[in-house]
């Protein structure tokens, strides 16, 4: 089945001004894979396209017809493209917010960047190479939208640019305004969100019903 995956991936990389090395460091996609895309030897997989979309602060959708599948932006407004910060400019601290802040409707802009001031900052973490990384303190005793793996007083360290795969812990902003903390599973154009304490998915949504999802890379227990 024909597709436009290669052209879409390379255009996104070029628009962001990324080198193959930076793509590898920020997404986990091997730089050799990007080189093979450029030479036409291989075609990106769907998850690779999702990882690149995360860097851009946008979402993609896949449209099927009888003989081809096409990837395209859910939001055609390129002004939503998230500004890229070079690796050498990674800050030495990580801004900290509270869940109460982050669940407010005006906390996140549509592209996933943050509009409010932090309550304080953490020292930088060497393994987190994302200049847009931030933290959220769980400041609510009980909230059904917060994964039960995280407790009151815990600090979730979140990397918007980190690659997300099935089973990863994420926070996600849904189009109805809810902010949730769950494990994520991908299935075609559906996203399933599951509690860490086992069982079936709490609910599923179409990819277009999710504004963004960011990977939780650490949880610092209180």
User: For the segment 118-154, what is each residue's pLDDT rounded down to a tens digit?
Assistant: 998 887 676 777 778 899 999 998 888 888 888 888 9
Residue 162 vs residues 197, 211, 216: alpha-carbon distances, Å: 23, 16, 9
Q: What is the pLDDT of residue 101?
A: 94
One domain, residues 47 and 136: no
- Report pTM: 0.62
Shared-domain flag, residues 107 and 193 = yes
Tell which residue, 20, 45, 22, 44, has the closest CA to residue 32: 20
pLDDT of residue 194: 86
The H or E element containing residue 37 is: helix 31-39
Q: What is the pLDDT of residues 7-27, one digit of tens each?
A: 999 998 888 777 787 788 777
Q: Residue 121: which H helix or E strand, with range?
A: strand 120-123
Statement to judge: residues 109 and 207 lie in one domain:
yes
Find the CATH number of the domain harbouring 137.
Answer: 2.10.109.10
Range of the domain at 197: 89-220
Q: pLDDT tens, 178-197?
A: 999 999 988 877 888 887 65
Same domain membership, residue 95 and residue 72: no
pLDDT in tens, 63-94: 888 888 999 887 665 555 554 444 444 456 78
Does 173 lie in the same domain as 72?
no
Number of domains in the chain: 2
What is the DSSP code (8-state) at residue 77? -
């Amino acid at each position: 089945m024909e597709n436009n995956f290669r052209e879409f991936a390379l255009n996104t990389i070029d628009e962001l001004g990324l080198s193959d090395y930076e793509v590898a460091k920020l997404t986990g996609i091997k730089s050799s894979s990007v080189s093979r895309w450029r030479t036409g030897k291989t075609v990106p997989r769907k998850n690779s396209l999702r990882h690149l979309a995360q860097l851009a602060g946008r979402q993609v959708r896949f449209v099927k017809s009888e003989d081809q599948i096409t990837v395209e932006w859910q939001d055609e407004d390129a002004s939503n493209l998230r500004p890229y910060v070079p690796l050498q400019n990674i800050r030495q601290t990580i801004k900290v917010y509270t869940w109460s802040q982050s669940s407010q409707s005006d906390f996140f802009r549509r592209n996933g960047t943050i509009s409010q001031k932090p309550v304080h900052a953490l020292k930088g973490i060497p393994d987190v190479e994302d200049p847009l990384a931030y933290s959220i303190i769980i400041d609510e005793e009980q909230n059904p939208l917060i994964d039960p793996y995280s407790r009151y007083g815990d600090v979730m360290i979140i990397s918007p640019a980190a690659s997300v795969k099935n089973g990863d812990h994420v926070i996600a902003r849904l189009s109805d305004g809810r902010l949730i903390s769950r494990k994520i599973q991908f299935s075609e154009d559906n996203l399933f969100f599951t509690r860490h304490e086992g069982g079936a998915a709490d609910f599923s949504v179409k990819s277009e019903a999710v504004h963004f999802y960011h990977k939780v890379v650490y949880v610092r227990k209180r």
